[in-house]
Amino acid sequence: MYEIDAVAAEKAVKKQDLDVKATTEPLCENTPEAPVTITTATVKVPVVLAELTVQVNVDAKINLPEPAIEIKRVGKRLKVTQCRLLQNTNKLFISGFVRKNIEYSTRKFSNREGICGNINHCSVDVPWSCVTAVDFNVGTPVDVAFNTVDQFEYLVEQNLGPKFPAKDQLMSGDLTELNQVTTEFFNELPFCELISATITEFNEAVNRKDPFGVNPFEEFEFTAIQEKMVIDLTLKILQNQQVAINGSGA
């Protein structure tokens, strides 16, 4: 019985053997061909309206779920949730948050010589928002076309009745009908493209207190972090526009 089981196990192992087969492809020749170009064309492409760096100042307080001994590392990523140009103005509304992953050490055991514990982490979203005035230093946005509603009517002639001469008539617009022409324009909405973001921050432990029990004299615990951030966000504002391209074909 043992020998049969051993043979079956050996077959099962062989089925799982790693096998790699590879070949080297020979070099094949190619001949460059000159592309066919258009001498004159009108294209619809994103046009850069402005490129700017916005500075956002953030002051936040983060409460930790447990007492901490030391901040070990803070990872961060900038997230933008809105970047909207209010058309017919130069005001740009920007908002988002900074996703922060805070690693900190905790106290599990301590004496006068040292502290031992765990490294925990906490991920939080720190919101920010601002409004900035844009200098269109590259291009200009297309003027907004407004929807129109035009109303028209027809002339109606009616008899005035026995109190007026028979040859006289009441001439006016027909109040029994409503005739309109409505025109809608679907404008191109400017949009943003993120280029880079630099975050300069200062994190400081607050709500400090002496740990309970026996500990090294210089140690303390804290339950909150006060942070100040300066965010330098570089972005482009673009809008899809029709552009005429003139060139010479080869």
**Residue boundaries of the structural domains of the chain:** 38-142+188-241, 147-184
| 134 vs 53: CA distance, rounded Å | 10
Q: How confident is the model at residue 250, as a pLDDT?
A: 42
Residue in 241, 249, 228 with CA at minimum distance from that of residue 38: 249
pLDDT band of residue 141 (cuts 50, 70, 90) is: very high
Q: How confident is the model at residue 237, as a pLDDT?
A: 96
Q: What is the mean pLDDT of residues 165-185?
A: 86
Q: How confident is the model at residue 1, as a pLDDT?
A: 45
Q: Is 53 helix (H, G, I), strand (E, B) or coil?
A: strand
Give the Cβ contact number of residue 129 at 10 Å.
13
Q: Is 15 helix (H, G, I), strand (E, B) or coil?
A: helix
The set of residues, in sequence order, having a beta carbon less than 8 Å from that of 91 and lying 6+ positions away, is 85, 131, 132, 133, 134
- Per-residue pLDDT of 176-207, as tens digits, reads 888 899 999 999 999 999 999 999 999 998 88
* Sign of the Cα pseudo-torsion (43, 188, 236, 76, in order): negative
- Per-residue pLDDT of 116-132, as tens digits, reads 778 999 999 999 999 99
The set of residues, in sequence order, having a beta carbon less than 8 Å from that of 133 and lying 6+ positions away, is 90, 91, 92
Q: Is 33 helix (H, G, I), strand (E, B) or coil?
A: coil
48 vs 220: which has the higher pLDDT: 48
Residue in 117, 125, 135 with CA at minimum distance from that of residue 219: 117
Give the Cβ contact number of residue 180 at 10 Å.
8
| 26 vs 28: CA distance, rounded Å | 6
- pTM value? 0.73
Q: What is the mean pLDDT of residues 138-150?
A: 92
Residue that has been written with the tokens 């109606």 in this structure: 156
DSSP 133-196: E----S--PPPPPPPEEEEE--EEEEE--TTS-TT-EEEEE-TT--EEEEE---PPPPEEEEEE
The tokens for 21 are 């087969």
pLDDT band of residue 217 (cuts 50, 70, 90) is: low
Backbone angles phi and psi of 72, in degrees to 5: -90, -45
Residue in 223, 229, 236, 232 with CA at minimum distance from that of residue 125: 229
CA–centroid distance for 216 within its chain: 47
The set of residues, in sequence order, having a beta carbon less than 8 Å from that of 31 and lying 6+ positions away, is none
pLDDT band of residue 70 (cuts 50, 70, 90) is: confident
169: pLDDT strictly greater than 70? yes
- Per-residue pLDDT of 221-244, as tens digits, reads 889 999 999 999 999 999 999 998
